[in-house]
């Protein structure tokens, strides 16, 4: 399965996902996990720099508050996309990484990026 797939083949594959049954649809599930203003950017930063500390993550994502960063990370962690490692040091030291499940989102991002470079000036 490669880039030579036709639209019809893509559509046929995608069609297997039954969005009407909201609870069971993988697309819906993923989108729910990635809902919110900051989730994609967090995943993106983790793609680029992994592991990354809380502070650096916050500096990388312009405009995010510690409140929102914490809340978003907690949800991503709960959903299994991100893992958190706490070092018991003073001052505190926490590192965030993508799980395997999270890393497997890279092809999704890759397709988005390809699309973007084609259409966004």
Q: Which residues contact DNA (rule: CB under 7 A)?
A: 35-38, 53-56, 63-68, 70-71, 73-74, 84, 86, 91-94
* Cα gap 33→39, rounded to integer Å: 8
DSSP secondary structure letters along 15-79: HTS-TTSTTT-HHHHHHHHT-SSSHHHHHHHHHHSSSEEHHHHHHHSTT--HHHHHHHHHHHHHT
- Out of 5, 65, 71, 93, point to the residue binding a copy of itself (CB under 8 A): 5
Q: How far is the CB of 58 from DNA (least distance, A)?
A: 7
Contact 87, 93 (CB under 8 A): yes
Least Å distance, CB 117 to DNA, is 25
Binding-site ranges for a copy of itself (CB under 8 A)? 1-3, 5, 7, 10-11, 13-17, 19-20, 22, 24-27, 29-31, 40-41, 44-45, 47-48, 60, 62, 80, 101, 103-120
């Amino acid at each position: 399965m490669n880039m030579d797939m036709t639209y019809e083949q893509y559509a046929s594959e995608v069609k297997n996902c039954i969005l009407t049954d909201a609870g069971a649809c993988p697309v819906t599930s993923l989108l729910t996990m990635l809902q919110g203003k900051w989730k994609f950017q967090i995943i993106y930063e983790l793609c680029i720099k992994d592991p990354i500390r809380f502070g650096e993550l916050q500096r990388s994502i312009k405009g995010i508050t510690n409140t929102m960063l914490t809340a978003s990370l907690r949800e991503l962690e709960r959903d299994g996309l991100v893992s958190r490692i706490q070092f018991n040091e003073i001052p505190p030291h926490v590192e965030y990484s993508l799980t395997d499940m999270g890393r497997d989102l890279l092809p999704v991002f890759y397709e988005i990026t390809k699309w973007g470079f084609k259409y966004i000036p």
